[in-house]
Every structure is written in structure tokens, then in C-alpha cells.
């Protein structure tokens, strides 16, 4: 969802700018959330040409592997099938945008088709710096303390996605294989905006980091789209929020695919109650939200904790997919306890909600530091470790929540970031101008 959602928002944006859009998605999909979002998108935008990439079967001997990883592997192995889809389009393509994780397999197809082609890098400009410099820095990073990102911060070794430090990890191999090919692209799209990452974007576009890097275009924050998003029909969490005072509720959600261990989930429950603040907690027990997963809340949380939550009427716990966009937009929400997935960070910026970050994996520590250093609209606990590194106790969690929710300056900063974010995408704003220029270039090249 962290890659699909920004793609759909970009597609919606291009439709609003009167582009003729074709969307190619892999078949079959993995999770319910994905297939629901896609079907809503195509109903809301019937003018979008829908094509399926029929995936080759997964490799054998992978019965216990992460289903999202198997899907990713199947997509990479099926990319050559894009060629007939792309070359038979009518009207013919003016430009082609693909996911950041598909550079190596898609590049030969994109080059053969011969149209300007771009990746959508679904993280920050800072993370893109790291990605583009990685092959040069890969050896030294393992022996040094960290890495300096211009205009951002010194990224200490403990913030670097652990998979990138492990010489046997598949993601390190993919980074090493894909990153040098960035110079073969016509550009890179980012869901960020110049006002919050200006120095980093300037350094990238001045070629200070990687020679012959193509232009990097900040087009965000991508606007959560009312025309197709909103997967939860019941609206129970929203009804509950309607009854709470303004700014009083902490929203807790660690993204679309984080399922913490049961003992850690119980500590979070304990921390939320200790904090004394109201909360809306989206709790995922499984990585993939298939229909048959429904486990009773008590099973994970423990009956005592559930009874306490109900008795104190302080919080609401949901296990199903929620419409995060509507929650962050609700006046009752005053804080966001987040894993700092990049989409969540941009959504919090767009709606002006301060973040308590608990980065758990991948680029999330770099994203959490963005919140602190580029917007100042939140905080994160550097000693909590990656997911499962140690058990973070309820007491620590409760204290961190109090620190976020009681500090007026975070609210003020979040409000400022919101104003700047909205300006960037309004007519004449930095991101709107960047998109407009691209569309004009495509028109000229036709
Ligand atoms: N999301 C949502 N409801 C949920 C969980 C997640 O709408 O119950 C959305 C969230 O708004 C964001 C995306 O799913 O757009 C998650 O992306 P992010 O980059 O934050 O994290 P990831 O899931 O990739 O770890
Ligand atoms: N990643 C990348 N190129 C690849 C594969 C992965 O840049 O070819 C990034 C990915 O976006 C994330 C990190 O590597 O920042 C670890 O991947 P994870 O499984 O956490 O992906 P996510 O769902 O968070 O994007």
C-alpha cells in the first residue's frame, strides 16, 4: 500500500491535469486493501485505461516467505511482459513512470519503447540521496559511523536500514544493482516538496552527489484523494472521533504491513492507558489483511487490558483497515504515534498533525529524523531500536505520548508545515509548477 497509494494519487493528479493515463497493475494482488483500493480507483476514474500485468508464477521452495516479497520477486521477473502492453497503446505513450524498486528489469523495456521514463521514488529526497550514493558508500558505511546527507543530517549507522548493512541481504544486492542505473532515467519523481527538503534537492540537482544524475522533481505532498480513497464503509472510528474534544486524541497506526509481537502490543496498550490521553489505535495482528485473519482482540491484548479500555472509555481499538486520511483530517486528532512510513509522514504534514515516531524498519528512522529536523513537528525515541530489537516498556511509551501531546510547540509547527505543504501544491506553488513543467515537456516531445 505504501507504493500503490502514492502511484494512485499521482495518477489522479495527472488526470486532474487532463493527461491521458494508463495504469498497469500486477495480477493477482496480495492483500484485500490493495484490490479494494484499485477497484475504487477505477470506478472513480473510468477514463483511466486499465491494463493488467499477468505475473509469472512464484519460484518454488518459498512456502514460508513474506507474501509481499514473493509478489515483488514475481513482478521483477515478469517485467519483460510490459513491452507488448506499452508498445500497443493508442494514443502512443508520451511518458512512462514506474516504481523505484523496478529499475533494472524495466530499464531495457523503457529504453526499447523510447519515451521519457521516470521512477517514482516513494520516500524522501534524503533517502533518495542515500539510494543514489549507496554503491560508492556501501563499503565504507560498514566500517564507519554513518553517512552525511547534504542539507539534512549526519545519518548514524544505526539509522541505516539494517538490510543494507548485511552483505547477504537481498535488498542490499538490489540497491547495488539498481542505484547505478539511475543515471539512465529521464528523471525521478518524489512525494516531497521543496520547502521542506530544499537543500537536499538542490544538492541532488546540482550534481553534487552523483555525476549525471537526471532531474529530481518534487511533486508532493501527494493529496489524499477523496474520489477513490476511503476503504472503510462503517465509519465507526469516525463516529467515535466526532464525540471527542478537539485535539484530544492520539491516533496510533504503524502502517499497512507492520504486525508487532503480542508482548509488544500489550506494552503499547499499557503505555496508552498510562499516558492518560484518549487514543484511536489501529492494531494489526497479521502482515497481510486477508479476509479470514479475524482474531479476537482479547486474544492479543489480554482480556484485562480490553476491559480496562472499555471501562475507562478512553480509547478505541480497531483491527480492520481504517481511512487514515479522514482520521488525520479529523479535528479531534491531536497527535499521531506512527512508524514513519513516508506516506504517513507526508499525510501528517498535509493535515498538520504532530508525530511521535517509532521507526521500525527500512527508511523509517531517516523519515523520523526528517520530522524533527525539517519540520520540527514531532519527536522520536532514538533508543527504542528497530522492530523487535528490544521490548519497549509501557512506561516509556506512556511518557513519550505525554511529551508529544502536552507540548504546544509541536502543534504550532505542525500547523506551519500544513500551510507550507498546501501552498506547494496550490496553483503557482513549487510542486504544482514542477508538474506543470513536466507536462509541457511531454506535450512538446509528442
Ligand atoms: N493506511 C490506511 N489505513 C490503515 C493503514 C495504512 O489508510 O489502516 C495508509 C496510510 O494512510 C498510508 C499507507 O497506508 O497512505 C501506508 O504507507 P506508509 O508509507 O505510511 O507505510 P507502509 O505501509 O508502507 O509501511
Ligand atoms: N528498496 C529499494 N529498492 C529495492 C528494494 C527496496 O529502494 O529494489 C527500499 C524500500 O523502499 C525500503 C527498503 O528498501 O525503503 C526496505 O524495503 P521494505 O521491505 O521495508 O519496503 P517498503 O514496503 O517499506 O517500501
Q: Ligand 2 in contact with 162 (CB < 6 A)?
A: no
Q: Ligand 1 in contact with 342 (CB < 6 A)?
A: yes
Q: Which three cell numbers stand for residue 445?
A: 516531445
Q: Ligand 2 in contact with 161 (CB < 6 A)?
A: yes
Q: Which three cell numbers stand for residue 270?
A: 499499557
Q: Ligand 1 in contact with 5 (CB < 6 A)?
A: yes
pTM, entire model: 0.91
Distances 361 to 140, 162, 336, 367 between C-alpha atoms, Å: 22, 8, 18, 11
In sequence order, the 6+-apart residues with CB closer than 8 A to the CB of 329 are 224, 351
d(CA 30, CA 291): 12
Give pLDDT, residue 62.
Answer: 64
Q: Ligand 1 in contact with 322 (CB < 6 A)?
A: yes
pLDDT in tens, 390-419: 999 999 999 999 999 999 999 999 999 999
ipTM of the complex as predicted: 0.82
Instruction: Average the pLDDT over 368-381 and give the result.
Output: 93
Return phi, psi of residue 376, to 5°.
65, 20
Nearest CA to ligand 2 atom 19: 362
Q: Are strands 146-149 and 153-156 parallel, antiparallel or unpaired?
A: antiparallel
Give pLDDT, residue 149.
Answer: 83
Residue-range domain boundaries for the chain: 3-225+425-445, 230-421
Instruction: Report how far ligand 2's centroid is from the alpha carbon of 197 (Å).
Output: 21
CATH-assigned architecture of domain 230-421: 3-Layer(aba) Sandwich (3.40)
Nearest CA to ligand 1 atom 11: 324
Closest CA relative to residue 351, chosen from 406, 405, 404, 411: 411
Residue pair 369/342 in contact by the 8 Å Cβ criterion: no
Nearest CA to ligand 1 atom 7: 324
d(CA 26, CA 49): 14
Give pLDDT, residue 61.
Answer: 59
Q: Which atom of ligand 1 is nearest to the CA of 122?
A: 19
Q: Which atom of ligand 2 is nearest to the CA of 361?
A: 20
Number of Cβ within 10 Å of residue 47's Cβ equals: 8
Beta bridge partners of 281: 252, 317
d(CA 292, CA 32): 11
Q: Which three cell numbers stand for residue 169?
A: 541481504
Nearest CA to ligand 1 atom 13: 2
Q: Ligand 1 in contact with 31 (CB < 6 A)?
A: no
Instruction: Average the pLDDT over 48-62 and give the result.
Output: 84
Instruction: Average the pLDDT over 364-368 and give the result.
Output: 96
Ligand nearest to the CA of 251: 1
Which residues form the catalytic set?
3, 99
Q: Which among 30, 101, 287 is the best mutation to test ligand 2's pocket, defined by most ligand atoms within 8 Å of the CB?
A: 101
Closest CA relative to residue 130, chosen from 185, 194, 204: 204
Instruction: Report how far ligand 2's centroid is from the alpha carbon of 152 (Å).
Output: 20
d(CA 108, CA 170): 21
Q: Which three cell numbers stand for residue 424?
A: 506547494
CATH code linked to domain 3-225+425-445: 3.40.50.2000
Residue pair 83/102 in contact by the 8 Å Cβ criterion: no
Nearest CA to ligand 2 atom 23: 2
pLDDT in tens, 267-325: 999 999 999 999 999 987 665 554 444 455 666 777 677 777 777 778 998 888 888 99
Instruction: Report how far ligand 1's centroid is from the alpha carbon of 446 (Å).
Output: 36
State the chain's mean pLDDT as an integer.
90
3-225+425-445 and 230-421: identical CATH topology: yes
Closest CA relative to residue 354, chosen from 364, 345, 367: 345
Instruction: Report how far ligand 2's centroid is from the alpha carbon of 316 (Å).
Output: 31
Residue pair 155/146 in contact by the 8 Å Cβ criterion: yes
Q: Ligand 1 in contact with 344 (CB < 6 A)?
A: yes
Instruction: Report how far ligand 2's centroid is from the alpha carbon of 126 (Å).
Output: 14
For the cut 80, the answer to whether the pLDDT of residue 344 exceeds it is: yes
Amino acid at each position: 500500500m505504501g507504493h500503490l497509494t502514492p502511484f494512485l494519487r499521482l495518477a489522479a493528479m495527472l488526470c486532474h491535469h487532463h493527461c491521458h493515463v494508463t495504469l498497469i497493475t500486477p495480477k493477482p494482488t496480495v492483500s484485500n486493501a490493495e484490490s479494494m483500493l484499485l477497484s475504487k480507483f477505477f470506478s472513480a476514474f473510468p477514463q483511466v485505461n486499465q491494463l493488467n500485468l499477468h505475473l509469472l508464477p512464484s519460484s518454488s521452495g518459498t512456502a514460508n516467505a513474506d507474501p509481499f516479497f514473493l509478489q515483488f520477486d514475481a513482478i521483477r521477473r515478469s517485467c519483460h511482459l510490459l513491452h507488448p502492453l506499452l508498445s500497443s497503446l493508442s494514443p502512443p505513450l508520451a511518458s512512462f513512470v514506474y516504481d523505484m524498486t523496478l529499475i533494472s528489469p524495466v530499464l531495457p523495456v523503457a529504453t526499447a519503447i523510447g519515451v521519457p521514463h521516470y521512477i517514482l521514488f516513494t520516500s524522501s529526497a534524503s533517502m533518495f540521496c542515500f539510494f543514489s550514493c549507496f554503491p560508492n558508500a556501501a563499503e565504507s558505511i560498514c566500517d564507519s559511523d554513518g553517512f552525511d546527507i547534504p542539507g539534512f543530517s549526519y545519518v548514524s549507522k544505526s539509522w541505516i536500514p539494517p538490510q543494507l548493512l548485511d552483505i547477504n541481504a537481498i535488498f542490499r544486492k538490489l540497491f547495488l544493482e539498481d542505484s547505478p542505473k539511475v543515471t539512465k532515467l529521464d528523471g525521478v519523481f518524489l512525494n516531497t516538496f521543496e520547502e521542506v527538503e530544499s537543500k537536499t534537492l538542490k544538492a541532488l540537482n546540482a550534481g553534487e552527489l552523483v555525476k549525471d544524475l537526471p532531474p529530481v522533481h518534487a511533486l508532493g505532498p501527494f493529496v489524499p484523494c477523496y474520489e477513490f480513497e476511503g476503504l472503510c464503509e462503517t465509519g465507526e472510528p469516525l463516529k467515535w472521533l466526532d464525540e471527542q474534544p478537539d485535539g484530544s486524541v492520539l491516533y496510533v497506526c504503524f502502517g499497512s504491513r507492520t504486525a508487532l509481537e503480542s508482548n509488544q502490543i500489550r506494552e503499547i496498550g499499557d503505555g496508552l492507558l498510562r499516558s492518560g490521553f484518549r487514543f484511536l489505535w489501529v492494531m494489526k495482528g497479521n502482515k497481510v489483511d486477508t479476509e479470514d485473519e479475524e482474531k479476537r482482540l482479547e486474544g492479543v491484548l489480554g482480556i484485562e487490558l480490553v476491559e480496562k479500555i472499555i471501562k475507562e472509555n478512553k480509547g478505541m481499538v480497531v483491527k480492520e483497515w481504517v481511512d487514515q486520511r479522514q482520521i488525520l483530517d479529523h479535528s479531534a486528532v491531536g497527535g499521531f504515534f506512527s512508524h514513519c512510513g513516508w506516506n504517513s509522514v507526508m499525510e501528517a504534514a498535509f493535515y498538520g498533525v504532530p508525530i511521535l515516531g517509532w521507526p521500525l524498519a527500512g527508511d523509517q528512522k531517516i523519515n523520523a529524523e526528517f520530522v524533527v529536523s525539517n519540520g520540527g513537528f514531532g519527536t522520536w525515541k532514538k533508543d527504542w531500536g528497530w522492530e523487535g530489537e528490544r521490548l519497549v516498556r509501557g512506561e516509556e511509551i506512556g511518557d513519550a505520548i505525554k511529551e508529544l501531546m502536552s507540548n504546544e510547540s509541536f502543534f504550532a509547527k505542525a500547523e506551519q508545515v500544513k500551510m507550507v505543504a498546501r501552498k506547494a501544491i496550490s496553483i503557482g506553488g513549487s510542486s504544482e509548477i514542477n508538474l506543470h513543467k513536466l507536462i509541457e515537456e511531454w506535450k512538446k516531445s509528442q
